[in-house]
A and B are shown apart, each in its own frame.
Chain A
Amino acid sequence: MELIEQFALVNTPVFLKTVKMLLAVMYIIHLPYIGMLLGNTLFSLIFNAMDKQQPNGLHATFSRRLIDSVAFRKSISLVFGVLPLMVITLIYIQILQSGGASTTLFLIYSLVPIVLGLIAVNVYRITFSQRSYLSILIGAAGIGLLLVGYFVLIASVARFHEPDRWKFVTSLTSLLVSYNAIGNYLTFLMASLAISGAGIVFFIFKWQNDSENDTPEFQRYARQFGVIISLIFTLLIPIFLIFSFITLPDVAWSNSMMFSGILVIIVLAIISLVLTAMLQRNDLKYGISLFVLFIIAYSLLVITNAITRENSLVELSKTINLKGEAMLAELIPERGEVGSGLTDYARGEDIYKRICSTCHRFDKQIVGPAYNTVLGKYENDINKLVAFVSKPTKVNPDLPPMPNLGLKINDVEAAAGYLIKTYQEEYK
């Protein structure tokens, strides 16, 4: 936990806002990619196994084409897979600091099976030409590792929305046994398989040039498979999305979160209508639009998730911001030399009128004591008054404690100088 705190930088409101936006961008880059990777590998494994059981040229070609798609290239895997995942983890450490320490630790642990899974999937792609059972086994192990890794990751992220449970999340079981985590995970799986279907249509027929060399039979088969798979899983997404909404704690809800959720449903409806049209016309006219719509749906899902997180963590964000502002205030150099404010009576009077007079008067007690009863002890030691106002402590047990006003030292000096001068000239 100390290590997590060491990793985190000083947060200021602007910095925090920026990293949260970066988090959303990373998710929008990562989730569609990993969804397609998962789906394509799964379908490739199924068709590969089917071909091994009963040789079928169509299945073998389709299995190869799925694994050859752009998602599996090393550079793409790094830019869209590993890198965003690292950034996402670092951002969560930054946002939560030590607030959700145990959940953040599980998030870090989830990276292990995910990276191993990505390696195994890559090995499956490289050894695909051998067409061996070992290759299929490695691919299946890769899928298994990715599924486990993403469950832990999604459960950790879901727990961020439940600060009241943080204290109780001490083991992997207590992390994973959460209806909301299960709802989010199933939504993620459905979305992954749905975008995989769209990806088959988009990448195999619109992106890769060798689609012209494919037989019409293969083209028809792959097209129909992609569209049907995409349609089935798009129709299933809202069921699990609603389930994850129902299982959210009350603090995560807000009007904007519901509005965002409704927008997700509307985009999913449009996607389903486009897929139905593609199925009815048996063409790929809307392939690009379909893919863009999926990216929009993912973006809206990420935004919905960000809204629920913000709703849950309102107080934590305030605490972190206050801490950051206090630390920054210590780092920012003071205006002028220490002691230079003592004779700036005009500034002192302004500060007295704006701030001090809320609780103090020279001749009567309001919230704090009357100045003419307390300033005498500071008359010959103005620095003591400056020190007290800079870091006030409770003096009179019958009165409320004086708050720390957060003033710069020169401002405190100016106020102290004005108070002592006025006291000596008018109230002593």
Chain B
Amino acid sequence: MNKIIPRLLIAGYFSIFIIIIVGLGWAWHTYREAPDQPIAYSHNKHINFVGLECTHCHAYADRALMPGIPPLQTCMECHENVATDRPEIIKLTAYWNKKEPVPWINVNYLPPHVYFTHKRHVKRGFECAECHGDIAHMDKVRQVKSFRMGWCVTCHRANNGPTDCWTCHK
């Protein structure tokens, strides 16, 4: 009996940590993992192999608050003829034929109480990778930078950007 109790205690103690890891994993999977998009679009393929520029699709990246998600028309400029037999392009064509936009899931998201202007950062000379990670080599988009206030403020300080509250919280 005396030998069993310490063993049970040890098993129980370590089980708690296994439960914690499983819980953390569940939370990460549910809230933080890069989502599967309706179409498995690869930035890596289009930028490094096809040779497209970021602004080819995100036309407003350097001239508006939001970079803009390309309309289906942009995709169909090429994919009306290119790789039409591939499963992902078949899905794309189906959206096009139904005249429905692709319901992309937002990955690099800033909450509504943050005023962020895309063009200001691009015009200041920041590369896309500074905030989006090496998105040019991503097959599946994921959020690399935390986009927490501390991260933004550290970068603003490092680059002599404004750090007063009003800049980002209008």
Residues of B within 8 A of A255 (CB): 25, 29
Alpha-carbon distance between A245 and B21 when the two chains are bound, in angstroms = 8
Closest Cβ neighbor of A268 among chain B residues: B14
Closest Cβ neighbor of A275 among chain B residues: B10
Given contacts A258-B21, A273-B7, A403-B51, are A358 and B28 in contact (CB under 8 A)?
no
Residues of A within 8 A of B130 (CB): 167
B78 within 8 A of A: yes
> With contacts defined as CB atoms under 8 Å apart, how many contacts are there between chain A and chain B in the complex?
115
Q: Find out whether the CB atom of A358 lies under 8 angstroms from the CB atom of B137.
A: no
Alpha-carbon distance between A392 and B18 when the two chains are bound, in angstroms = 55
Q: Find out whether the CB atom of B28 lies under 8 angstroms from the CB atom of A250.
A: yes
B48 within 8 A of A: yes
Q: Find out whether the CB atom of A319 lies under 8 angstroms from the CB atom of B137.
A: yes
Residues of A within 8 A of B33 (CB): 250, 253
B53 to chain A, nearest CB (A): 8
Q: Which residue of the partner chain, among B50, B82, B137, contacts A315 with CB atoms under 8 Å?
A: B137
Closest Cβ neighbor of A249 among chain B residues: B146
Q: Find out whether the CB atom of A265 lies under 8 angstroms from the CB atom of B134.
A: no
A350 to chain B, nearest CB (A): 19
Given contacts A163-B144, A164-B151, are A272 and B22 in contact (CB under 8 A)?
no
Alpha-carbon distance between A298 and B81 when the two chains are bound, in angstroms = 54
A76 within 8 A of B: no
Alpha-carbon distance between A238 and B52 when the two chains are bound, in angstroms = 47
Residues of A within 8 A of B169 (CB): none
Q: Which residue of the partner chain, among A250, A280, A314, contacts B143 with CB atoms under 8 Å?
A: A250
* Further contacts, 11 of them, CB under 8 A, given A168-B158, A315-B144, A367-B78: A238-B14, A253-B25, A253-B32, A255-B25, A269-B14, A315-B135, A318-B137, A359-B78, A359-B81, A366-B81, A400-B56
Q: Which residue of the partner chain, among A265, A266, A400, contacts B52 with CB atoms under 8 Å?
A: A400
Residues of A within 8 A of B6 (CB): 276, 280
Binary interface encoding of chain A residues 338-380 relative to chain B, with 1 for a CB under 8 A from any of its CBs, else 0: 0000000000000000000011000000110000000000000
Q: Pull 9 A–B residue pairs with CB atoms less than 8 Å apart, ordered by A.
A: A167-B158, A168-B154, A235-B10, A250-B32, A266-B14, A269-B13, A315-B135, A392-B51, A403-B50
Closest Cβ neighbor of A316 among chain B residues: B134
B69 within 8 A of A: no
Alpha-carbon distance between A246 and B20 when the two chains are bound, in angstroms = 10
Residues of A within 8 A of B10 (CB): 235, 269, 272-273, 276
Alpha-carbon distance between A168 and B134 when the two chains are bound, in angstroms = 17
A322 within 8 A of B: yes
Q: Find out whether the CB atom of B158 lies under 8 angstroms from the CB atom of A319.
A: no
Q: Find out whether the CB atom of B51 lies under 8 angstroms from the CB atom of A401.
A: yes
- In chain B, positions 45-64 with a C-beta closer than 8 Å to chain A are 48-53, 56
Interface size on A, residues (CB 8 A): 43
Closest Cβ neighbor of A403 among chain B residues: B51
Alpha-carbon distance between A366 and B83 when the two chains are bound, in angstroms = 12
Alpha-carbon distance between A235 and B50 when the two chains are bound, in angstroms = 54
Given contacts A265-B18, A266-B14, A358-B82, are A163 and B133 in contact (CB under 8 A)?
yes
Alpha-carbon distance between A226 and B29 when the two chains are bound, in angstroms = 41
Residues of B within 8 A of A387 (CB): none
B79 to chain A, nearest CB (A): 9
Binary interface encoding of chain A residues 224-246 relative to chain B, with 1 for a CB under 8 A from any of its CBs, else 0: 00000000000100110110011
**Mostly helix, strand, loop or mixed at chain A's interface?**
helix
Binary interface encoding of chain B residues 1-26 relative to chain A, with 1 for a CB under 8 A from any of its CBs, else 0: 00100110011011001101110110
Given contacts A319-B137, A367-B78, are A235 and B13 in contact (CB under 8 A)?
yes
A25 within 8 A of B: no
Residues of A within 8 A of B134 (CB): 315-316, 318-319
B93 within 8 A of A: no
A262 within 8 A of B: yes
Residues of A within 8 A of B137 (CB): 314-315, 318-319, 322
Binary interface encoding of chain A residues 259-286 relative to chain B, with 1 for a CB under 8 A from any of its CBs, else 0: 0011001101100110010001000000
- In chain B, positions 112-170 with a C-beta closer than 8 Å to chain A are 130, 133-135, 137-138, 142-146, 151, 154-155, 158
Q: Find out whether the CB atom of B14 lies under 8 angstroms from the CB atom of A164.
A: no
Alpha-carbon distance between A269 and B11 when the two chains are bound, in angstroms = 7
Q: Which residue of the partner chain, among B7, B18, B51, contacts A266 with CB atoms under 8 Å?
A: B18
Alpha-carbon distance between A314 and B155 when the two chains are bound, in angstroms = 23
Q: Which residue of the partner chain, among B44, B78, B151, contacts A318 with CB atoms under 8 Å?
A: B44
Alpha-carbon distance between A242 and B6 when the two chains are bound, in angstroms = 23
Residues of B within 8 A of A316 (CB): 134
Residues of A within 8 A of B133 (CB): 163-164, 251, 315
A400 to chain B, nearest CB (A): 6
- In chain B, positions 82-129 with a C-beta closer than 8 Å to chain A are 82-83
Closest Cβ neighbor of B11 among chain A residues: A269
B29 to chain A, nearest CB (A): 8
B16 to chain A, nearest CB (A): 8
Q: Most A CB atoms within 10 A — which of B21, B44, B130, B143? A: B21
